[in-house]
Structure 1
Amino acid sequence: MIQLIAGARLPGGHAAADSGTGAGGSELVDVWIGANGTIRAVTPAGSLAEFDGVRKSAATTLGAEGRVLTSGLWDEHVHLGQWAQQSSRPDFVAANSPGEALTRVAKLLAPDVHGNAPSEIIGMRLRGGDWGGLTREQLDSVSSTVPIVLVGLDLHGAWLNSAALARHGFLPDHDAHVIEDECFALLADLDRVTDETLDAAIDQAAARAAALGVVGVVDFEIRWSYEDWLRRERSGFSTLRVESAVYPEHLDRAIALGLRSGSPIGDGGRISVGPLKVITDGSLGTRTALCCDPYPDGGHGRQLVPPAELTELLSRARHAGFTAAVHAIGDRANSQALDAFEATGIAGRIEHAQLLQRRDLARFAALGVAASVQPAHLLDDVPSMRAVWADRAERAFPLASLDRSGAKIVLGSDAPVAPLDPWLAISAAVGRLPAGSDVWVPSERLSVARALQSSMRGPLRPAAGDPADLMLLDSDPLAPRKGSGPDAPPFERPSVAATLVGGTLTHLA
């Protein structure tokens, strides 16, 4: 465990120095870390030879060498097991038409240099919702014998050829497109592996996350994960802090075990029970997000949990000691979710909060409900939003409006829908600039400081008493960006030199 980080800078030093406040400026500091994993003191570099009985010369020291020290990042919305497995599968996000998707499938089916051909194709992040998807006939024209599964960008839908439909138990006359519950069951089937295989994949995914400065995640894996995390914790998993969500079908089981949000899982102090996760509507890609106004081809989306049922469920969860994380993408779904929070008084957040009515913006802060947003979805969803939400574009991903209203915003990825990469989320929140497109509603950009803070649970400038969940960066993310004009990057990603959780190194470049 690190006892001393020597010679670091705190972020925003340029601003402090210019203001003349003397709030640290660009001076170097030493950060002393206690045995309990919290910061004991932040002192001018070299000013103390000893602190609280720990001699500098004998301390386990991480030399910062002038790098920038700030709080580590959280990804507030991941499906960690799915990300660990699916991130290695072929990515179809760049396919902009049926022809491009089918060409990529054909290339994947081609035998390798040894003459070996795949027995199944599982592709991820297909943008089929943008251009109408694929038919069985189209997929069968590439192969009628090798199962082909192409999972949609948002994980709420997938396209299968006849061989895949048969393999995964669908009726012979089923359409190629499976959505919502059928798709979730399909994904669970695709991801079914041994515990050992899954845990090894999660260890690797956690190490990759730590290399990005990530210190914690909220895990929304759609399964009973309590025993999974208990097993991993007992096997020594300690790379990340993890809050593991519970779904409604498992709530009674959790209550019977005496669990509640915040209950520890294992004895290490890094893994705990998270919120109750409730999915109340679908997604934009499948046109099932529940909206007040109809889609161009009719329909308002899908209501997966009626308002009265949602209120009863959240009330029961609150009395059992749970917080809530309510999935709501469409504006009607968000209104109904806020109504349920108001009726029950449960603490928690709305996951996605993608499309909001103007009158609902102030309700987040008034009710103490956080907006848990995945800004990288904006980069992927612009084609769909232009196609079906063009008349409500100003209300999609209203980050700055939520911020001005006083709402708490927390950022995540929804990995594997988008990569587990908080820097991508920060960049998307600041720039709102999809590839090959104009800025999506520039007035809704977040500042770099706000986007960073929304990706952290600790402060931008750590101080005594804060957890030593930290990252050491090669550059200051709050420094003025280089260059100017429309071609200048809205945010410059820093390199992560080290990551610590509770004072213990989890990554060192």
Structure 2
Amino acid sequence: MLLLGGRIHAPGAPDATAMAVQDGVVVWVGQDGPAKALYPDFEVVRLDGAFVAPAFVDPHVHATSAGLLLTGLDLTGCTSSADVLDAVRRAEGDIVWGHGWDETTWPEGRPPTRAEIDAVAGGRRVYLSRIDVHSALVSSAAVDHAPGTRGSDGWDPDGPLSRTAHHRVRRVALRELSADQGTTAARAFLRHAASRGVASVHECAGPDISGLQDLADVMALGRSDSLPDVVGYWGEIGAFEAARELDLRGLAGDLFVDGAIGSRTAALHEPYADATTSGNRYLDTGDIAEHLIECTNAGLQAGFHVIGDAAVSAVVDGFAKAADTVGRDALAAARHRLEHVEMITMAQAEQVASWGVIASMQPMFDAAWGGPDGMYVQRLGERGTTLNPFSMLARSGVALAFGSDAPVTPVDPWRSVQAAVHHRTPGSGVSARAAFTAHTRGGWRAAGVDDGLTGMLVPGAPATYAVWETGDLVVAGSDSRVQRWSTDPRSGVPGLPALDPGVELPKCVRTVLRGKTIFEKGWLDG
């Protein structure tokens, strides 16, 4: 196949307009004239000025839950408690599964009570996860179907459930989905991801998130020629048999050290600014160290969900203990992961970098909840302006991989890149080039693919790319000296779409994985 008349994002060739692909591999990148002379027998695809770039990777998703948001009750647009109740009242089916409510800006200042949910549920089982999926509104009928929920840790007789109580109700709600419902939802999500230029996702499953059968089903979908790759992670200590049986990349992802800030379950050194609690920690330093040691010795990635500063401290201490046992070099070679890692200091970042840790982060968390008037400041006060310090982590040498945590935030990679550049705390963002790399090559590296080719469009690389409709390309450096050199053609720096606030972002026309098209504009319309 010979792509002609486009704008190819190729290192060292900012003026490239053509790319040749054979047997799923990029074999040549350059300009149209030489391309037509070198490959006269190749099938021609005329790009008409479209932008061709490495496909995105989303290194933290929950496919079935995100698919249920597409096929079920989407509460992300609710602007009041009354909106949620109206949505439940109108929902069809004996079981109502919804997601996405966020009460922090509602006029009522609170989510619906259980009595209010019951009044519109009509005796049905209702499960409505908060935007961060660390608490949920449920009906009394849903509680009745989850034995042991009442009185367990995180139980509230009238408000949202969190911690153990939430996990018990969620597990039962997931089990009650039919296999067909789950597979249909996961397939819908993967198709949606492909339509956003994503060629690979990392499914971050775990016993409190989904289930092993769900993980196996999602990974099976990823082996299809028509859907994105799925890299599997399972967040459970000691689950080495499951890792072998499912050929998992690691016992990582959502292995919870703590919860989330919005639900006030992220573990803090000091109490929340709007509550008396300091959150919850689910693993101690010894648990963390032992898991790291066992995974390192087994050749698996370990990883943890970690958000609050107290949880980050526990993780850093756990890594230090593990390094004392297996050695710094062995620990670094394993490329263990930290998911979210929102409240981290520079000293901790430098330690984490020395252990080769990859930080899997979600820039749209900051876009949604950062800034002086955002949810982070509501919950944490002044501490809320220091979260998600992308630039500090990058300066410290921590490898970044950017994603969505769908369904927490949507799969929208260009908006994610834009959010990483335009961080709501000045000085915490990164350059467009760094953000784009974290969402492409960074995602492949996070799953252990670090061959110097994958995630780029160069000869010898897998032909995994997306084609975009977009305007002029720009090159921006971190300061005026860098910018002057970057925009000079001699630098060989390829351009990217403009990412200024309010600008129209690129629209995906086609997504290709190892030479096979997994999305083309118009496919989702039929």
Q: Same fold (TM over 0.5)?
A: yes
Which residue number in structure 2 is paired with residue 493 of structure 1? 505
Which residue number in structure 2 is paired with residue 374 of structure 1? 362
Partner of residue 232 from structure 2, selected from 244, 256, 264:
244
Determine if the alignment matches structure 1 residue 153 to structure 2 residue 131: yes
Superposition TM-score, scaled by structure 1 size? 0.81
The change in CA–CA distance for 1:155 and 1:406 in structure 2 (over 3 A counts) is same
Instruction: Name the CA distance, whole Å, in 1 between partners of 2:290 and 2:472.
Output: 44
CA contact (8 A) 2:366 2:388 kept: yes
Partner of residue 157 from structure 2, selected from 172, 175, 178:
175
Partner of residue 293 from structure 2, selected from 300, 315, 334:
315
Aligned amino acid, residue 82 of structure 2: L
Determine if the alignment matches structure 1 residue 448 to structure 2 residue 432: yes
Partner of residue 17 from structure 2, selected from 21, 28, 33:
28
CA contact (8 A) 1:397 1:444 kept: yes
What is the SS of the residue equivalent to 1:47?
A: helix
1:306 CA displacement: 0.9
1:132 CA displacement: 4.3
Question: Size of the alignment, in residue pairs?
Answer: 460
- Residues 309-350 of structure 1 deviation map (CA, whole Å, 9 limit, x = unaligned): 111112111111101221100012122223333433242221
Instruction: Name the CA distance, whole Å, in 1 between partners of 2:238 and 2:411.
Output: 26
1:166 CA displacement: 2.5
Instruction: Name the CA distance, whole Å, in 2 between partners of 1:459 and 1:477.
Output: 26
The change in CA–CA distance for 1:274 and 1:47 in structure 2 (over 3 A counts) is farther
CA contact (8 A) 1:89 1:122 kept: yes
CA contact (8 A) 1:125 1:152 kept: yes
Q: For structure 1, which segment, 164-173 or 148-157, has the greater mean C-alpha deviation from structure 2 after superposition?
A: 164-173
Partner of residue 384 from structure 1, selected from 363, 375, 382:
375
1:48 CA displacement: 4.2
Aligned Cα RMSD in Å? 3.1
CA contact (8 A) 1:431 1:490 kept: no
Instruction: Name the CA distance, whole Å, in 1 between partners of 2:278 and 2:59.
Output: 28
Which residue number in structure 2 is paired with residue 254 of structure 1? 242
Determine if the alignment matches structure 1 residue 105 to structure 2 residue 85: yes
1:60 CA displacement: 3.3
What is the SS of the residue equivalent to 1:215?
A: strand
Which residue number in structure 1 is paired with residue 31 of structure 2? 44
Determine if the alignment matches structure 1 residue 412 to structure 2 residue 403: yes
Identity %: 22
The change in CA–CA distance for 1:498 and 1:118 in structure 2 (over 3 A counts) is closer
Which residue number in structure 1 is paired with residue 483 of structure 2? none
The change in CA–CA distance for 1:129 and 1:188 in structure 2 (over 3 A counts) is farther
Which residue number in structure 2 is paired with residue 302 of structure 1? 280
Partner of residue 518 from structure 2, selected from 497, 506, 509:
506
CA contact (8 A) 1:477 1:494 kept: no
1:459 CA displacement: 7.5
The change in CA–CA distance for 1:136 and 1:274 in structure 2 (over 3 A counts) is closer
CA contact (8 A) 1:393 1:441 kept: no
Instruction: Name the CA distance, whole Å, in 2 between partners of 1:10 and 1:278.
Output: 39
CA contact (8 A) 1:352 1:372 kept: yes
5+ residue gaps in structure 1?
17-22, 112-116, 262-272, 433-439, 482-486
Aligned amino acid, residue 402 of structure 2: L
- Residues 386-438 of structure 1 deviation map (CA, whole Å, 9 limit, x = unaligned): 21212213321111221222221111111111112222322222233xxxxxx
Partner of residue 466 from structure 1, selected from 431, 453, 461:
461
Partner of residue 348 from structure 1, selected from 309, 329, 336:
336
Q: For structure 1, which segment, 214-223 or 445-454, has the greater mean C-alpha deviation from structure 2 after superposition?
A: 445-454
Superposition TM-score, scaled by structure 2 size? 0.79
The change in CA–CA distance for 1:205 and 1:237 in structure 2 (over 3 A counts) is farther
Instruction: Name the CA distance, whole Å, in 1 between partners of 2:222 and 2:377.
Output: 45
Q: For structure 1, which segment, 395-404 or 381-390, has the greater mean C-alpha deviation from structure 2 after superposition?
A: 381-390
CA contact (8 A) 1:156 1:282 kept: yes
Determine if the alignment matches structure 1 residue 325 to structure 2 residue 320: no
What is the SS of the residue equivalent to 1:198?
A: helix
Instruction: Name the CA distance, whole Å, in 2 between partners of 1:507 and 1:340.
Output: 42
The change in CA–CA distance for 1:277 and 1:108 in structure 2 (over 3 A counts) is closer
Instruction: Name the CA distance, whole Å, in 2 between partners of 1:242 and 1:47.
Output: 37
The change in CA–CA distance for 1:135 and 1:275 in structure 2 (over 3 A counts) is closer
The change in CA–CA distance for 1:360 and 1:250 in structure 2 (over 3 A counts) is closer
Partner of residue 124 from structure 1, selected from 99, 111, 115:
99
CA contact (8 A) 1:11 1:478 kept: no
Which residue number in structure 1 is paired with residue 185 of structure 2? 201
- Residues 46-72 of structure 1 deviation map (CA, whole Å, 9 limit, x = unaligned): 314565xxx533x23332223221100
What is the SS of the residue equivalent to 1:332?
A: helix
Q: For structure 1, which segment, 291-300 or 454-463, has the greater mean C-alpha deviation from structure 2 after superposition?
A: 454-463
1:178 CA displacement: 1.2
Determine if the alignment matches structure 1 residue 427 to structure 2 residue 418: yes
Alignment of 1:2-151 (within 5 A): 3-11=1-9, 23-29=12-18, 31-35=19-23, 37-49=24-36, 55-57=39-41, 59-96=42-79, 100-106=80-86, 108-110=88-90, 119-128=94-103, 131-142=109-120, 145-151=123-129
1:377 CA displacement: 1.7
Instruction: Name the CA distance, whole Å, in 1 between partners of 2:64 and 2:72.
Output: 13
Instruction: Name the CA distance, whole Å, in 2 between partners of 1:216 and 1:315.
Output: 28
Aligned amino acid, residue 347 of structure 2: R
Aligned amino acid, residue 466 of structure 1: A
The change in CA–CA distance for 1:333 and 1:287 in structure 2 (over 3 A counts) is same
CA contact (8 A) 2:511 2:519 kept: yes
The change in CA–CA distance for 1:109 and 1:321 in structure 2 (over 3 A counts) is same
Alignment of 1:280-291 (within 5 A): 280-291=257-268
The change in CA–CA distance for 1:423 and 1:110 in structure 2 (over 3 A counts) is same
CA contact (8 A) 2:127 2:139 kept: yes
Partner of residue 393 from structure 2, selected from 397, 402, 406:
402
- Residues 99-124 of structure 1 deviation map (CA, whole Å, 9 limit, x = unaligned): x223441354159xxxxx65454331
Q: For structure 1, which segment, 294-303 or 171-180, has the greater mean C-alpha deviation from structure 2 after superposition?
A: 171-180
What is the SS of the residue equivalent to 2:98?
A: strand
1:370 CA displacement: 1.5
CA contact (8 A) 1:155 1:183 kept: no
What is the SS of the residue equivalent to 2:34?
A: coil
What is the SS of the residue equivalent to 1:444?
A: coil
Which residue number in structure 2 is paired with residue 264 of structure 1? none
Which residue number in structure 1 is paired with residue 450 of structure 2? none
What is the SS of the residue equivalent to 1:303?
A: coil
The change in CA–CA distance for 1:477 and 1:215 in structure 2 (over 3 A counts) is farther
1:451 CA displacement: 1.4
Instruction: Name the CA distance, whole Å, in 2 between partners of 1:251 and 1:488.
Output: 45
The change in CA–CA distance for 1:4 and 1:461 in structure 2 (over 3 A counts) is same
What is the SS of the residue equivalent to 2:267?
A: coil
Instruction: Name the CA distance, whole Å, in 2 between partners of 1:195 and 1:140.
Output: 27
- Residues 20-51 of structure 1 deviation map (CA, whole Å, 9 limit, x = unaligned): xxx5343522x22232x221221321314565
CA contact (8 A) 1:448 1:491 kept: no
